[in-house]
Structure 1
């Protein structure tokens, strides 16, 4: 498989853990993210740098291409103007598909992408004469909690196939656990038992060379349990907010001017997680409570001493994203936070990988080979 716009490797992590998938190329622009990928999956096949600078001749054949191209600028893809910077990265994804000739490709993007003009143009490219005319698309908004993540993260998933249309994977989890599926995993399942008060506020000072550059890390997951130093006013705000609450629980004297004047919306701002529910989406600034529902869930209404008044740590965010404990990280605190928040939850990627495997191996009746002929049930080509 090839992973484009790979980030730190959240999608690759899920696919590799599903067994049978071998990364042969990955491309990532951001140095720290590329270093994290290399630290976990190997440096040799990771191309750090501008995807437009990867020549066609360097693109290997692959059964599968995965990745999440940025959604900006896709609207002019139909003009096929390779010099239009707004569609360059989407053109690059499609260029890789054209040269790698995968049986299947998977695109991951924000939930609103599916309703965008950009997405409508992607569908057009699968029509006659389009850049992706060989491929049939399946697309849906998937909720990560339905596939084992302790997080209510919605993402658009697109599966393109030239071996017969492939449906989306069926959910494995649901809220109540009463419908024959497992119950949603919760914040408690992910982070309970970690120290309430982190011992440090900074990462260790270790550095390693990747791609000829000196990069902080790699750091063990346990080394990401780093705290912050909130101001007394921030701590006072945190102390007023119960699980599931947010800025509307603050007394007037603790409201900022913008919050005081904005009476509706942004309900998750300065929010506190709940132990026995999945978290909301973990974004790139999860260490700032003013950006979302990122306060630690521990809060006792009757005992002020039994409250954890801090945002979640990098380690807790990585666990809520379902990164395995053995995953290691490179970069500064802000760079690693960006990697965590931008990643596809590995358990969601794993669910997709397990679902695709029998199609890629020809074990699904009615699936077509790349030349259009029916594949043999039980064929064993490796994914």
Structure 2
């Protein structure tokens, strides 16, 4: 691969409680794609390939999702990689550009979710998380709680037992991310929570309460990816955010051999993916300014701090309550509100992370802008298993240009 790939345009819908808006999934996609194209100053007729990600919609929904945007005959690839679907679609779009197969590609993710879809069919002969369930059932047993809540709830309990992490430290993650989402008009939730309100919220499983868990959500996000030569030919360099490095890893024996729920829920994948991207980018974690990570539950943000190298293993709880991951701290993590508060429409999540970081690196994030952000990291995790990590670099954009486009 010799071409460099850039995000030239990004757009997303507001993330909402399912049914809050009477719209179809093609309407959600059209809104996100139209926003991304307008942001790039391009038309759909210029797009040469599209990758469309979703988890719960019917087969070949990607084509139907885009037909109302345009009928141009381009290849449309449908992508499903559980919660890492959006970032996987982005990886396809960027690899088409890097390989020289296309100069303009589109990555789209969307979801309209239901509670029943999230329950999972754990009684089936084969499921996508057989290996994960085997460890869970053998070592912790099984309950009637939602499957993912059991995985991460047990991981939280294990972290508390091994490292002394407290319920207050788990809740601090949710307090921070709900505070961040107050500044994000596209977030599903936009209310502050005190530490006590998080702790007193409805119990879900183990030490996790409702406001520490990502909700089911409807929404869509899209980005336009272009080659360097296209960006130069169309004077897009001043707003084009470079995709410096990307990787996608899946489970290895490390996820299951220790019978640790922290490993089962993806810590080894995160460690491997982050290390690969940092090495390919020739930077360290200390060089990063802003991070969007997969906080599907509060404990996963703590686990990811450690796996990324933001702090030492076992120190994630103390780190969460230290203020190091909010405005004025060492890094700003999940300025969008993260999955916990921005929402988590599975297929859209990775591309919403890309959209947020594109705006951050252009200086267009408005009230939640991270001052001077130049390097950003996105982490998108899917059990069953996939972990996508992406490094982004800011364009050469002036402060005044950024203010002119502030959101």
Q: TM-score, normalised by structure 2?
A: 0.28
TM-score by length of 1: 0.29
